[in-house]
Amino acid sequence: MKANPASVIRIDRVIPATIENVYRAITTPQLFERWMGPEGSSVHITEMDVTIGGRIAFRVDAPDGHTVSLHGTFRDLEPPSRIVHTWADASDAAADVSTVTYELSPDAGGTRLVLTHVGVRAADRQMVDAGWGHVLERLAALVASQEPSGAS
């Protein structure tokens, strides 16, 4: 079944860090908690089994008091270049499961990250697109701060 183009978010950016450090920040619970969610939020991973068929589950407590719980299953892993997992809001039983793919490749400026989120509901598209833009900025800042000077 082909996804409706309106249900796909694709973000392509270069992150000034090595591919290994970007991959590690996406797949290591302690690092994931530092970039996922809005600025000032608190992220709590309850499960992160980075194996095919393994689960990811976490809660984001936003500074405005809003809480969201998300979960998914890892579908594909090709370290350090590809991560695919499903994504669903645990509080919305009617929520369609969507899929998030991170594709990483070396780039002259560090690592090219192409994030594709398929299956986003039309009503949520603008919010989800803005959210990914924000958290990927936080991811870039985190991994750039961990790079040795002049390395990437």
Q: How many domains does the chain have?
A: 1
Can you tell me the mean pLDDT for 124-146? 94
Say if 128 falls within a structural domain: yes
Q: What does the block give as tokens for 6? A: 């309106």
Give Cα 31 to chain centroid, integer Å. Answer: 12
Say if 134 falls within a structural domain: yes
Edge to edge, what strands does the sheet with 82-89 contain?
A: 8-15, 110-118, 98-107, 82-89, 67-78, 55-61, 42-48
Can you tell me the mean pLDDT for 100-109? 96
Say if 66 falls within a structural domain: no
Average pLDDT, the chain: 91
Say if 103 falls within a structural domain: yes
**Percent of the chain residues past pLDDT 90, beyond the cut:** 78
Say if 30 falls within a structural domain: yes
Question: Domain range holding 102?
Answer: 5-37+76-145
Can you tell me the mean pLDDT for 100-127? 94
pLDDT of residue 152: 43
CATH code, domain with 124: 3.30.530.20
